[in-house]
Structure 1
Amino acid sequence: MSSLFDLTIQVKPEHIDVLGHVNNVVYVQWMQDVASAHIEQLGVGLEQYLEMKHAMVAIEHHVQYRKAALMDDEIILRTWLYDINALYSFRQYAFFNAKDKSLLFTGNTKWACIEIATGRPKRMSPTFIQAYQPIATDVDPYDLSSIVSI
């Protein structure tokens, strides 16, 4: 069983667009950042990808912007795995303002397993399947009650 994974970041000047809030494309970068940190924590990150000669690559993103993030906000980037099969894993994201715990963003990504040398689809190895298990069905990924507000 996998778990929820949180990464807290602070909004910096380079994240802000001409309208004074976090630019839309920054959220997609944060999806990548928190997913990468999560797989490292699960023990199947970039180094293991290179050793195994296959990797997971994003093939589809869905995003929903709910509330603007502003300069100096502390943001909780939360991710979790919610499904897996022989070729694909499915990851969800919820980003929260750490101060008031408001939901800023939701998204999900479909990841495919590929052979690094050819870029062709490959069945997931047992290493991936074991590491990338979905969270337990009784876990509420939107519950931030255990996180102390800043």
Structure 2
Amino acid sequence: MSTPFDLKLTVQPEHIDVLGHVNNVVYVSWMQDVATAHIEALGLGLNEYLALKHAMVAVEHHVQYRKAAMLGDEIILRTWLSDINALYSYRQYMFYRPKDRAILFMGNTQWACIEIATGRPKRLSPSFTQAYQPLDADQNPTDFQQYHTEDMTGEHTS
């Protein structure tokens, strides 16, 4: 079992579209970025994929844009694994802005294991099933309390 994985970032000019907010395609790119950072932290990242000669590839995304992110916003990209079986792993995402405690984005991806040389589906090896464990049942992935403090007057600060 595992815990949520967080990656902090600040919205940069290249993330902003003509409407003045983070472009929807950027959120999908961030899904990839935080998933990659998470698998690297689990010790079964891209270099290990090459050594094992198989890898996980995205086969389906579902996304929900809830609020706009703007230039300079500090955002927490959170991901966790919600399920795994012989062929697939399922990853959840939640992107959060601490300054107003807003959930900006939610999504999930179904990942499939493939042989790198052929691109053909492959059953997940023990290396994957041991490293990629679903979220512990006692973990609440929507709890971002660690990014907030209360001062002595009870006023919210980030």
TM category (shorter chain) comes to: over 0.9
* Residue of structure 2 equivalent to 1:67: 67
Alignment partners' CA distance in 2, 1:3 and 1:41: 12
Segments of 5+ residues of structure 1 without an aligned counterpart are: none
Q: 4+ residue runs of structure 1 moved beyond 3 angstroms?
A: none
Q: Which residue does the alignment assign to 1:9?
A: 9
Q: Deviations over 1:80-118 (max 9, x none)?
A: 000000000000000011222210000000000000000
- 1:77 match: secondary structure: strand
The normalised TM-score by structure 2 is 0.93
Aligned twin of 1:56 = 56
Q: How many pairs does the alignment contain?
A: 150
Counterpart in the other structure of 1:130: 130
Shift of 1:142: 0.5
Q: Taking every aligned residue pair, what percent have the same amino acid on both sides?
A: 70
Unaligned stretches of 5+ in structure 2? 149-156
Higher mean alpha-carbon deviation, 110-119 vs 92-101, is at 92-101
Larger of the two Rg values belongs to structure: 2
**1:20-63, CA deviations, whole angstroms, 9 ceiling, x for partnerless residues?**
00000000000000000000000000000000000000000000
2:31 is matched with 31
Q: Deviations over 1:107-144 (max 9, x none)?
A: 00000000000000000010100011101112110011
Please provide the CA RMSD for this pair.
Answer: 0.8
**SS class of match (2:99):** coil
Would you say 1:117 and 2:117 are equivalent positions? Answer: yes
Matched, 1:97 2:103: no
TM-score (norm 1): 0.98
